[in-house]
Amino acid sequence: MNIGDTIRKYRKELGMTQEQMANQLGVSAPAVNKWENGISYPDISILSPLARLLKIDVNELLSFQEELSEQEIVTFINLLSENITVKGIEESFEETIGLIKQYPNCNRLILWSAQILNGYLVMKLQDVVDVKKYEDQIIKWFEKVAFCDDAELARSAQMSLAQSFMKDKKYEEAQKLLDKIPPIGFDKRLAQIQLYTEQEKFEDAFKELEGMLYQSSNGLLSNLMQIITLLCKRQEYDSALKYADLVSQVSLLFNLGNYAGNSSYFTIYAEMGNKELAIDALEKTMNDYETMRQPRSSELYKHMEFSEDDGLDKMKTIILKSFDNDPSLDFIRNEPRYKELYHKLVK
C-alpha cells in the first residue's frame, strides 16, 4: 500500500472528509486529494502531524515495514535477474541487501532473492571478488526463513540450506537439518477439489487438478533425472539411457516439451565422453528449448493460468552464458562441430 492509499484508508476509518483533514493540517483540500491519488506527496515537515491525526506512526504512514505483495516480489525478482546480467552480481547483491533491510520480515522476498543469487554464485557465471562474503549472507537468509511460520517457505528454505551444507561438505549439518523437516502430510488440494465439485465450480476444480497434474509430471521428470545422475556416477550408462528414454516418453505424454529428454541424453553422453553423440544431444537440447512452453497450448492444462513472464528467456540467456565456463563442456570445446554450434547460438 502506498502513502496515498494509507492516508485515504485511515482518513475514512476516522470518518473524516478531505476538507476536514486539510483544515486540521493547514493545507488545502486539493492537496489532500493529490496525496491520496498519488499525484504529489506530503511535505516531510507534515508527516508527523499527519500520522498523529490518522492515529498511526510515521513508519506505518510510509509503509516502511509493510509486507510486499506477491506481485511486487515477483517484479523485484525478475528485475534482480535482469540486473545481475547488466550491473553484475555484486552490485545487485548490495541492492538486494538494501531492500531486505526495508522489509526484514518479508520471508518470501528473502527466500526468493537468496535462491536467485545463490544460483548465480553456484553456476559461476560471473567473477566475484569475495564469494565467501556473499555465500555467508545467503546462508543467513536461508536460516532466517528455514523455521518461519509459513510451512511452505520454511521447507523450501530448509532444502536450500541443506544443499548449501552439502556443497560445503558439511554432511552432518545437512542431515540434522533434513531430519527436522516434517514429512509431507495431507494435501488439502484434494479436499478443495471435492468442495469445488460439490458446489459445481467445475472450472475451479479443473484448474486445481491440472495444476496438480502439471506439478506431479514435472516432479516425475525430476526424479527420473536424479536417477540418471546416480547411474552415471556408477558408470551404468546402459541403464541411464533407458531412464533417458523414460524422460522423453513422460515429456511427450504430459506435453512438457523435448528439452528434458535431450538434456538427459547430453548428460549421459558427456559422462561417457562420447563427443559426437554429446554434441548431437546438445544441439537438439538448445533447438528444442522453446518446446518448454508447450504446456501453455496443451489441452491437458487449458484451465491453468500461466504467468506472462515464465522466465524461460532469462533462463536461456543464463544457459548460453554458461557455455563460456561450464566445466561439463570442456571435453568438446575444441571440437569443430561444437564451435560451430557455439557461434550459432551465442553470437
CATH number for position 39: 1.10.260.40
Cβ atoms of 304 and 210 within 8 Å: the answer is yes
Q: What is the grid cell recorded at 231?
A: 547411474
200 and 340 share one domain: yes
Highest mean pLDDT among 87-91, 164-168, 215-219: 215-219
CA distance 274 to 15: 76
Q: What H or E segment, with its residue span, contains residue 186?
A: none
248 and 311 share one domain: yes
Cβ atoms of 191 and 289 within 8 Å: the answer is no
CA distance 128 to 137: 14
Contacts of 299 (CB under 8 A, 6+ apart): 255
199 and 237 share one domain: yes
196 and 298 share one domain: yes
113 and 167 share one domain: yes
154 and 133 share one domain: yes
Domain that holds residue 154: 70-180
223 and 332 share one domain: yes
Domain end point (choices 13, 31, 61): 61
49 and 80 share one domain: no
Does the structure show a pLDDT above 80 at 64?
A: no
Q: What domain count does the chain have?
A: 3
Domain end point (choices 61, 79, 94): 61
Per-residue pLDDT, 2:
67
CATH number for position 127: 1.25.40
Domain end point (choices 180, 207, 232): 180
CA distance 20 to 297: 55
In this prediction the pTM is: 0.65
162 and 205 share one domain: no
Highest mean pLDDT among 35-49, 144-158, 187-201, 214-228: 214-228
Per-residue pLDDT, 6:
85
